[in-house]
Amino acid sequence: MTHIYGYARVSSTDQDLSIQETALRAAGATIIRSEKKSGTTTKGRDELATLIEFARAGDTIMVTRIDRLARSIADLAQIVRTLESKGVHLKATEQPIDTSSPAGRAFLQMLGVFAEFETAIRRERQLEGVAKAKANGVYKGRKASIDADKVKALVAAGKGATEIAKELNIGRASVYRYMKD
C-alpha cells in the first residue's frame, strides 16, 4: 500500500503552518510532518529527514510549493536524488511538479533555479541595506563578545593561546586574532 506524506515548513516560529497543512490534507496527504526552520539548508530539519527516511518505494512526499522543501539547487537536487533512489515521488499542490513524469521533473528543476536566484537576490538586498545603514552610522554590527583587555592582560601575564581560550571559554583562533593586534 502506498502513502502520500505531506511536508509543511515555515521559516520562523511566529508564522502559521495551518494553511499548508490544510492544503496538503485536501490533496490527499494522510500523514503530515511540519516544522518551523529556515529552508536555506537541510541541516537541522528533522521532520524532513524523518519523512525521507520513512517513505518507501511507491510513496509520495507532497509539499505546497517547492520552496517549502529547499531554497538551493544543491539541497533540492540531493533531496530529489535520495527520493528517486528509494522510488519515492515528489509532488507540489500549487505547482505542476510530479517527479513521476518527465515534464514534472523538468518543471521542478526550473523552479529550483528560481528559488535559489530569489534567495541570492534577497541576500544581496540585505547586504546593501546593511552597507547603507553602516554608511549612515545606524548599523554598527553586534557588540564584541570577547573582552579584548582580558585577552591582552593574560597574554602580558605570559599565558599561551590554549590556556587563555580555556580560561575565557573562547576559541583559540579568537585569541590569536587579539594577539596579532
The one-letter code for the residue type at 130 is: V
> What's the confidence (pLDDT) of residue 108?
78
Question: Average pLDDT, whole number, for the chain?
Answer: 89
Tens digit of each residue's pLDDT (9 = 90 or more) over 8-44: 999 888 899 999 999 999 999 999 999 999 888 888 9
> What's the confidence (pLDDT) of residue 60?
96
> What's the confidence (pLDDT) of residue 91?
94
Cα separation, 14 vs 12, whole angstroms = 6
The pTM (predicted TM-score) of the whole model is: 0.62
State the residue for C-alpha cell 545603514.
133
> What's the confidence (pLDDT) of residue 25?
97
Which of these is catalytic: 11, 38, 100, 101? 11
Hey, where are the domains in the chain? 4-119, 148-180
State the residue for C-alpha cell 549612515.
136
- pLDDT class for 90, splitting at 50, 70, 90? very high
Cα separation, 116 vs 139, whole angstroms = 27
CATH top class, domain 4-119: alpha beta
Cell numbers at 142, concatenated: 553586534
Element (H, E) at 109: helix 102-135
- Give yes or no for residue 72 having a pLDDT over 80: no
Tens digit of each residue's pLDDT (9 = 90 or more) over 120-154: 898 899 999 888 888 888 887 778 788 888 988 88
Judging by beta carbons within 10 Å of its beta carbon (0-12, 13-18, 19+), is residue 157 exposed, middle or buried? exposed
User: 20 near 36, Cβ under 8 Å?
Assistant: no
Q: Which residues contact 95 (CB under 8 A, 6 or more apart)?
A: 65, 66, 107, 111
Cell numbers at 119, concatenated: 534567495
Q: Is 11 a catalytic residue?
A: yes
> What's the confidence (pLDDT) of residue 65?
92
DSSP 57: T
- Which one is predicted more confidently, 179 or 56? 56
